[in-house]
Structure formats: C-alpha cells, structure tokens
A and B are shown apart, each in its own frame.
Chain A
Amino acid sequence: GIQVEQSPPDLILQEGANSTLRCNFSDSVNNLQWFHQNPWGQLINLFYIPSGTKQNGRLSATTVATERYSLLYISSSQTTDSGVYFCAVPQGAQKLVFGQGTRLTINP
C-alpha cells in the first residue's frame, strides 16, 4: 500500500516564528488533505489540495503531485497552533492513509 512520511516528527518554536512541515508519499495520488489535531483530539480540516497552492490566513499548503510531496507553511505562529499536524492521501476505495504526524509546540 501507499506509504506516507511526515517530517519533522517534533517541532518546538517560539510564538511568532514560521514553520514548514513536509509530507512525502510513495505513489501518485489524486488528492491530499492536511489536518490539525488540537490538544482536545479534534481533527480539523485545513486543506484539501490535490495539487498547486492554497492559502488560508496564516496557513498555506503546496502539493507537487509529480514529485510526490506536499508542504504546509505556518507563519507568525500562535500558541493555538500547537497540536499534531497530519497529512493523508487516498488509497483504494478512497480510504485515507495518514502519516505519523508532526507534533508542533508553540511556546509563548
């Protein structure tokens, strides 16, 4: 099956810093989702981004499908950005295969 790898596994930053999270996948895909899992366990949709670049406020994402990777950018980090960020790609009948996540900690 398809493999999804995320890096780095952990990231600790000061408030106001910028960060880049990476997601590599082992096979061609027709869509990709980025999620934020907050400290209460809720999985929040950030982006549905099969290819190209999308922006939503301080967050943006770029997927280069031909090179099998996606990047999530967070600018001017806030403490509320803390949590685990997952990317996920479809396999077979559209079930999502998740990476292991990047745990982001933003210190005040």
Chain B
Amino acid sequence: EAGVAQSPRYKIIEKRQSVAFWCNPISGHATLYWYQQILGQGPKLLIQFQNNGVVDDSQLPKDRFSAERLKGVDSTLKIQPAKLEDSAVYLCASSSYGGQPQHFGDGTRLSIL
C-alpha cells in the first residue's frame, strides 16, 4: 500500500512570510497527526484529526499555526507569519484509528531565514 505522502520535501522562507504543507494519509486511515521535530529532539504533536474533526490541538500555537482536514482525507498545515523558532521538520502521520501503529511520511524540512 502507498505510504503517507507529504509535500514539499524542503522549504526555505524568510521570517514573517507564510508557508503551507500538504499531507495525504494512507488510504482508509481515519486518524491523521501533524508533528513538529526540532533538531536534536523527538517529534512533538501539534494537532490530531479523527476524520475531519480535531481531537487534540493543545500544543498548536494557534496565533500563527492553522490546520484543516477537509473531507476527512488530505490535510494542510499553515504557518503565518513564520518565526525563526519554527525551523523544524514537520511530519505527518496516520493510523487506522487511535491506538493502532502510526505511519509517518518523509516530512517537510522548513528553514526560516
């Protein structure tokens, strides 16, 4: 089966600009997650969707980050405006339902200048 697809693979922007990431989960997976991985650390959850509803967004900086999952399939994560500390890898993951193994995409490496 096809894995979790993410794009773009790399993105370089200047601070205060906006950026968007796209994720297509494994077919049939109801749960979708966005994680942020800062260099030298483990990934940390930003937001979790169950179908098209938000389950957990407690760690999402809502003043600048937003995410949506229209129709319960694809998802986009947006940052506006970007700050230097947003430089990280943004990983998307999916699972068939909560509690089952999560499968990760290749991530988007974001650099803020």
Q: Which residues of A contact B (CB under 8 A)?
A: 4, 30-31, 33, 35, 40-43, 45, 48, 86, 88, 90, 92-96, 98-101
Contact = CB atoms under 8 A, between A and B. Distances in A.
Interface of B: 31, 33, 35, 41-45, 48, 50, 55-56, 89, 91, 93, 95, 98-104, 106-107, 109
Given A94-B31, A95-B33, A41 B107 contact: yes
Contacts of A45: 101, 103-104
Contact of A33 (B35, B44, B101): B101
Among B45, B56, B95, max chain A CB count under 10 A is at: B45
A31 B95 CA distance: 13
A50 B39 CA distance: 28
Nearest to B55: A93
Contacts of A31: 99, 101
